[in-house]
Amino acid sequence: MSETRFKALKDLPAQHLLLPGTPMCPGCGGLEVVKQVYDVLGENTVFVNAAGCLTLLATYPFTPFRGSWIYTAMASAPAGAQGIRDALDILIAKGRLPPAQNLDVVVLSGDGAAYGMGLGPTSAAIDRGLDFYYLCYDNEGYGNTGQQTSAATPAGARTATDHGPVGFAGEKKDLFSIWVAHHPPYVATITSADPVDLARKVETARGHAGPKLFIALAQCPTGWHYDPKDTVQMGRLAVATGIWPLKAYAGGRVTHTRRPKPKGERPPVEEYLRAQGRFDHLFSPTRNEEALARIQARVDAYWDAAE
């Protein structure tokens, strides 16, 4: 990790490659992640998109990408990446494409696709050792359709399909571990609130052939109910409270690239939850001590177990 060209904020590209003027909501965390990842990967890329909010990035006849793009469907973007990768390899092998015109293939999907409908296709793409990047922007719900509960929705969150007093009664699925269980060359979690960590991880991934997968926290003012100006703050809180661990898997090992302060010293998860309307019902009209304690206990247990 240490030998990437990104050591501090000043090493990051000063200008973004992604062009402005997209129809995303103000403060969209998913868009911010794409911007930062794009700066590292560059324009010699083809984004293979699954249905979600970011599908509207390219609406005929406009695109903010300087490189290429194809929208596939909700479930099968990894298979689209397979088709493009194979076709590029075939064209190069048969002398119909100069190797210098090769592209990196990048799947761009939301959590709904990554954790649910698209999980089988992703698993299969990893099985096949497909040389591609997978960028999941995780806004913890089916955002494009109005933030219904997805397999990435965290415990206690109110969504368009979980209105009850406890919000979503289940737990967020551990997609990182599921991906890691396939033993691909590289898996990492990222957040746009820590651009150096993000850039270093994407840069590190570039050194690996095969599947390179990222889960990015995608703060979503519209679905999470907070002021768009607080998007960066929301990302920082997620890391500081320990609810969004920043980690990477490579060479058979998981390493945490940022550690929150020890238990007792780090801010309670409550600070992150209270900042978002989707957790309001845990605080008013009465505090749901039991739910809050359970969420905190899970975060603490995670870090107790983390080496």
Partner 1 sequence: MTRTLLTGNAAAAWGARLAEADYVPAFPITPQTEIIELLAEWMQRGAMAGRIVMLESEHSMLTAAGAAAATGVRVFTATSSQGLLYAMEMLYTVAGWRVPLVLVNVSRGLAAPITLEPDHNDVLAVRDSGFLQFHCATCQEALDGVLLAYRLAEDARVRLPVMVNMDGFYLSFTREPVRLPEPEQVRRFLPPFDPETLYFRAGAPRSQGVAVLGGAQYSYFRYEAHLASLGALRVFEEAAAEFARLFGRSYAPLETFHTADAEFAFVMLGAFATKAKQAVLRLREAGWRIGLVRPRLLRPFPAQALVEALGGLRGIAVIDQNLSTGMGGVLCSEIGAALLRAGARPVVAGYVGGLGGRDIPVEEFFEMARETKAAAEAGRCPPTRLLYTEEELRQTRALQAIAMAE
The contact set with partner 1 (CB under 8 A) reads: 43-44, 46, 48, 55-56, 58-61, 63, 65-73, 75-84, 86-91, 94, 96-97, 100-103, 120-121, 123-124, 127-128
Are the C-beta atoms of 137 and 30 separated by less than 8 Å?
A: yes
Binding residue (CB under 6 A) for ligand TPP from 52, 67, 167, 242 = 52
55's CB contacts (< 8 A; 6+ apart) are 49, 71, 144
Q: Which of 216, 225, 244, 76 is nearest to 158 (CA)?
A: 225
Identify which of residues 118 and 223 has a Cβ nearer to partner 1 in the complex: 118
143 is an interface residue for Mg ion by CB under 5 A: yes
Binding residue (CB under 6 A) for ligand TPP from 36, 150, 189, 288 = 150
Q: How far is the CB of 142 from Mg ion (least distance, A)?
A: 6
Pairing of strands 132-138, 211-217: parallel
110 is an interface residue for Mg ion by CB under 5 A: yes
Identify which of residues 88 and 238 has a Cβ nearer to ligand SF4 in the complex: 238
Identify which of residues 167 and 242 has a Cβ nearer to ligand SF4 in the complex: 167
218-237 positions binding ligand TPP, by CB under 6 A: none
240's CB contacts (< 8 A; 6+ apart) are 260, 261, 266, 267
Q: How far apart are CA 143 and CA 148, in angstroms?
A: 7
Q: Which stretch binds Mg ion (CB under 5 A): 83-91, 133-141, 258-266, 295-303?
A: 133-141
Identify which of residues 59 and 297 has a Cβ nearer to partner 1 in the complex: 59
Cβ burial, residue 5 (10 Å; 0-12/13-18/19+): exposed
Q: Which of 266, 207, 198, 277 is nearest to 238 (CA)?
A: 266
Work out what residue 111 binds among partner 1, ligand SF4, Mg ion, none; the CB cut-off runs from 5 to 8 Å by kind: Mg ion
Binding string, 58-97, against ligand SF4, x = CB under 6 A? Answer: ----------------------------------------
Q: How far apart are CA 164 and CA 303, in angstroms?
A: 29
Residue count, binding to ligand SF4 (CB under 6 A) = 12
What number of other Cβ atoms are within 10 A of residue 49's Cβ? Answer: 24
Pairing of strands 246-250, 253-258: antiparallel
Q: Which of 17, 32, 20 is nearest to 193 (CA)?
A: 32
Binding residue (CB under 6 A) for ligand SF4 from 139, 189, 257, 276 = 139
For residues 167-204, one letter each, b for 16 or more C-beta atoms within 10 angstroms of the residue's C-beta and e for the rest, the string is bbeeebbebbeebbeeebbbbbbbbbbbbbbbbbbbbb
Q: How far is the CB of 199 from partner 1 (least distance, A)?
A: 22
Binding residue (CB under 5 A) for Mg ion from 39, 104, 111, 197 = 111
92-131 positions binding ligand TPP, by CB under 6 A: 109-113
Q: How far is the CB of 159 from Mg ion (least distance, A)?
A: 10
Q: Which residues are at the interface with Mg ion (CB under 5 A)?
A: 110-112, 139, 143
Binding site for ligand TPP (CB under 6 A): 51-54, 74, 109-113, 139, 142-145, 150
